[in-house]
Amino acid sequence: MSKYTPGPWKVVFENNKLRVDSRRAYICEMVQYGMVEQKRDYYKHEETNARLISAAPELLELSKQVLDLHSKDILVSLRVSLRQAIAKAEVLDK
């Protein structure tokens, strides 16, 4: 399984740019396309996207913990969905 940069990841707004960083590495930068007058909407949407990206390590770990519960309270369909989400987040080495 491929390794990813450990969390926590955080959203940083600096020099009029949004990016996601960790303690160890730069994760990504949100890039604006379009007209200057669209900046307000851009920042609203891109900040939301950046927050979702920054939550990825915690969401992945929580998903793994839920799957490890092996409780009858966890619906089968939820377990299947969590496995699919984890598989999407973790690219296997070939």
Asked whether the CA dihedral 65, 67, 69, 72 is positive or negative, the reply is positive
d(CA 39, CA 25): 27
Number of domains in the chain: 1
pLDDT attached to residue 94: 47
Element (DSSP H or E) covering residue 10: strand 9-14
* 25 inside domain: yes
- 36 token code pair: 């200057």
Domain range for 19: 9-89
d(CA 6, CA 93): 18
* 94 inside domain: no
The tens-digit pLDDT sequence of the chain (94 residues) is 568 888 889 889 888 788 999 998 999 998 766 555 566 666 677 888 888 888 888 888 878 877 777 665 667 777 777 777 777 776 555 4
pLDDT attached to residue 34: 59
